[in-house]
Amino acid sequence: MDWNPDPRFIAVNRDLPAHEQALFKARQIATCAQRRRCNSLALDRPWKWDMFDAASVALKQKISRMDIEYRAHWLMLFWATGDEFRAFVRANPKRFWSHMFTSNVVWCYLSVLRVKSWFSNFFRKIAIVAFPSS
């Protein structure tokens, strides 16, 4: 993909099968959409974006990879030809079916992080009240 702030083209290897070319294009578009913070089915609420920003680097990378792959699958479903999409699913069905619950997994990770944040803020307030700095 063109690495300008506003990409203008996606260069694709012509020797790849059609379904791999479509997947590559979908991944690049999904990456660009995530960088621009467009909502997806996994990251669709302001609190999720806030928790995503507050997450550790490892968790942020994991969620980012899952979200990009999830976005790419949806883009392929709606914009690739039927033959390309069927070939994609036949080529590696596990890769396709493993992302069926991505939105639920991302929600779980971010909800746990949100609850930890609530407890942290709550106990910080208690500590401030119990042990005021003189």
Q: Per the structure, how many domains does the chain have?
A: 1
Report the candidate in 98, 22, 76, 132 with the shortest Cα–Cα distance to residue 12.
22
What are 110's two structure tokens? 């971010």
Residue 97: domain span? 18-130
Whether 2 is covered by a domain: the verdict is no
Each residue's pLDDT tens digit, 25-66: 999 999 989 988 999 989 999 999 999 999 999 999 999 999
- Tell whether 8 is covered by a domain: no
- Asked if the structure places residue 49 within a domain, the reply is yes
- Report CA 1 to chain centroid distance, whole Å: 18
Is residue 92 assigned to a domain?
A: yes
Flag whether 113 is in a domain.
Answer: yes
pLDDT number for residue 62: 94
Report the alpha-carbon distance of residue 72 to residue 88 in Å, rounded. 12
pLDDT digits (tens, 9 = 90+) for 58-106: 999 999 999 999 999 999 888 888 899 899 889 988 888 888 888 999 9
